[in-house]
Amino acid sequence: MTEEVFDWMAAANKKAKGKRPEYFDDPEDERMLSILMAVVGEVSVLRERMDTVERLLDANGTISRNDIENYAPDKQAAYERGAMIREYIYRVMRGPHQMVQELEQVEPPVEEVSRELKDI
């Protein structure tokens, strides 16, 4: 008799009951954005881990996996890491962020500006 293993990885992915809203015309875009956002999150995780490694090496000159798992930033380091994540988010979210700026300032197409410059 084999003991049934609880597959927590599969269980973590359980869908919430309730029909998911559709945000895009093409349902595949929903999946693509979900994959992209998961990767965006995981890159942030890798960056934070690298920051932990660098800080531990700076402080101790040596490192173990245990040190990484148990690392907790002090107040200054916590702020610096928060700022690092924020900077990363602003970089990857440039596109949607610029949509806000487009809404603030409606601009004429460059073709129009080009025609204008020809005559001034």
Applying CB under 8 A, which residues contact other proteins?
6, 8-9, 11-18, 20-21, 23-24, 30, 33-34, 37-38, 41, 44-45, 48-49, 52, 68-69, 71-73, 75, 78-79, 81-83, 85-86, 89-90, 93, 96-97, 99-100, 103-104, 106
Residue 16 or 110: the one with the smaller Cβ distance to other proteins is 16
* Of 38, 48, 59, 50, residue with least CA distance to 83: 48
Angle between helices 75-92 and 27-60 (to 10 degrees): 150
* Of 31, 81, 76, 26, residue with least CA distance to 52: 81
Residue 87 or 116: the one with the smaller Cβ distance to other proteins is 87
CB of 43 to other proteins, least distance (A): 9
The Cα 51–Cα 71 span in angstroms is 11
